[in-house]
Structure 1
Amino acid sequence: MAISECCNIGVVCCEEGTSIPEIAHLMRKHHVGDVVVVRHEEDKRIPIGIITDRDIVVETIAEQVDMNLVTAGDIMSTPLITVHENESFAESLRLMRHHKIRRLPIVDERGILYGIVSAGDIAHLLAAELSMLTTTITEQPLAERQVRR
């Protein structure tokens, strides 16, 4: 399965100059824990970094920094690890494990932001797949009994 089949395409984004309070507001408004920092080329969004709610806490609040003086460019995680939209689910998971990240932006062949997948998205998908497998395993003997009466 291509990772693009299970990602979120409604990615919340900001630019490098966006202030931390603005980013926190975006997170709250959209109920997300991350914002992808992008550079605009024409009308295309090129991802260059990512900021998580944890980044905000560790880099500003814990250090007692005036958040109005800090921008996305100051605390974003970069270089950004991304995966191509046609890459496999397994390869995407391998990248996340290798780089110890829980969120993985997805790009198309031109490097334009396509979507994002999180560890939570993957866990949810795997739980659904396991549930279907469990149903198949438990229902198979019943189906066989009906056929072999």
Structure 2
Amino acid sequence: MDISSAMHKSVDWADADTPVSEIARMMKTDDVGAIPVGKDDRLIGMITDRDIAVRVVAEGRDPKKVTAEKAMTPGIIYCQTHQSVEDAIHLMEQRQIRRLPVLDENKRMVGMLSLGDISHAVARELAGEAIRSVSAHHS
């Protein structure tokens, strides 16, 4: 199955200079734990609820002053629309990540693929394997 058949097609993203307080509001409104971050119309990273907790709140930084770019996980791990869901699962397992931005052939974000999306798109055994691998405790 192609990723484009399983992914969520509507995805919000935040500009790199968006304050973390606004990112948290976006997460609450959309009921998500990660927001893609872009700069100059390109995806540059992801900011997660964990990034906010660890890099902003735990360090006593002001979420109204810290930008997404300063708190996000730098770099981007992604999949492309032409790949299979199985390819995405292997990437998620290797990197222990729960969601992947989906890029088209022009490297433009067109969706997001999550473990939840995968659980609805593939056989139960494969979905279970993916969830176990991605959720494995760090050694």
Common topology (TM > 0.5): yes
> How do 1:93-108 residues align onto structure 2 when only pairs under 5 Å count?
93-108=89-104
Quote the Cα distance in structure 1 between the aligned partners of 2:61 and 2:120.
36
- 2:54 alignment counterpart: 58
Letter in 1 for 2:44: I
> How do 1:1-149 residues align onto structure 2 when only pairs under 5 Å count?
1-41=1-41, 46-126=42-122, 129-130=123-124
Please say which structure displays the higher CA radius of gyration.
1
Identity over aligned pairs, percent: 36
Unaligned runs of 5+ in 2: 125-139
- 1:135 alignment counterpart: none
Q: Give TM-score, length-normalised by structure 2.
A: 0.83
Shift of 1:40: 4.2
Q: Give TM-score, length-normalised by structure 1.
A: 0.78
Task: Considering fraction of residues, name the structure with more helix.
Answer: 1
Q: After TM superposition, where is structure 1 displaced by more than 6 Å over at least 4 residues in a row?
A: none
Residue 48 of structure 1 aligns to a residue whose secondary structure is strand
Residue 47 of structure 1 aligns to a residue whose secondary structure is strand
Residue 87 of structure 2 aligns to a residue whose secondary structure is helix
Quote the Cα distance in structure 1 between the aligned partners of 2:13 and 2:110.
12
Aligned length: 125
